[in-house]
Amino acid sequence: MSHIVDFKNVSTTGLESSPVAEALAGLRANEARYFMNKYKHAFAVVPAGESQETLDYVNRILQEERGLSFSARPLETSRFQVENIKWAFVFYEDGLEVNVLYTVDDPKKRAVGFKLSEGMAVPAELEGKFKFARQKSALAGTIRGSFFVIKGEY
C-alpha cells in the first residue's frame, strides 16, 4: 500500500523502527518537497516488503557497479519517471537513503546517490570509499551525501 509523503506535516509513518526515524522522515520529506517543487510530482513510497522489484533493481546496480550490498534493512522504496528521468529510492532502517537517477536518453547523466540522515554513522559498506558533502535542510537537518556515476545499462 503506497502513501504520498507529506512534506508540510512530516511523519515517521513507515520508518518507526529506525533509530533515527525523525531525521529519516525529514530526509524523505525533503525528497518529496524537491519533486513537488521541481516537477509537480507527488512523491509516494511503498513498504519494502511490497516492492521487491525496486529493491532488486537498486541492489543489482549497486552490486554490478561497485560490489556494494547493505546489511541494513530496507523500510520503504519509491520508483517513478518524471520527464526523461527514471528514479528509484530505497530508505533503510539505519537512516541511509539510496537513490538511482537514470536518464532514458543520455547515458552521461546516470548516477547512484547516497544520503545519510542526521545522527547516523557512515555505513561500514561506504566507509573510506566515498567522501560526503554536507547540505543543510529545514526538513532534514544536516544531510551528508555522495554519489557515483553509473557506467552500465540497466
| Tens digit of pLDDT at every position of the chain (154 positions) | 899 999 999 999 999 999 999 999 999 999 999 999 999 999 999 999 999 999 999 999 999 999 999 999 999 999 999 999 999 999 999 999 999 999 999 999 999 999 999 999 999 999 999 999 999 999 999 999 999 999 999 9
Q: Could you give the CA distance from residue 122 to residue 10 in angstroms, rounded to a whole number?
A: 24
Q: Could you give the CA distance from residue 16 to residue 101 in angstroms, rounded to a whole number?
A: 27
Q: Could you give the CA distance from residue 21 to residue 70 in angstroms, rounded to a whole number?
A: 18
Name the helix (H) or strand (E) containing 31. helix 21-39
Q: According to the model, what pLDDT value does residue 105 have?
A: 94
Strand-pair partners of 91: 76, 97
Q: According to the model, what pLDDT value does residue 10 have?
A: 97
Beta strands in the chain (DSSP E): 3-4, 44-47, 74-82, 85-92, 96-103, 110-116, 133-137, 141-149
Q: According to the model, what pLDDT value does residue 88 have?
A: 98
Strand-pair partners of 97: 91, 115
Which residues contact residue 49 at a Cβ distance below 8 angstroms, ignoring those fewer than 6 apart? none
In this prediction the pTM is 0.97
Domain boundaries, the chain: 3-149
Q: According to the model, what pLDDT value does residue 1 have?
A: 85
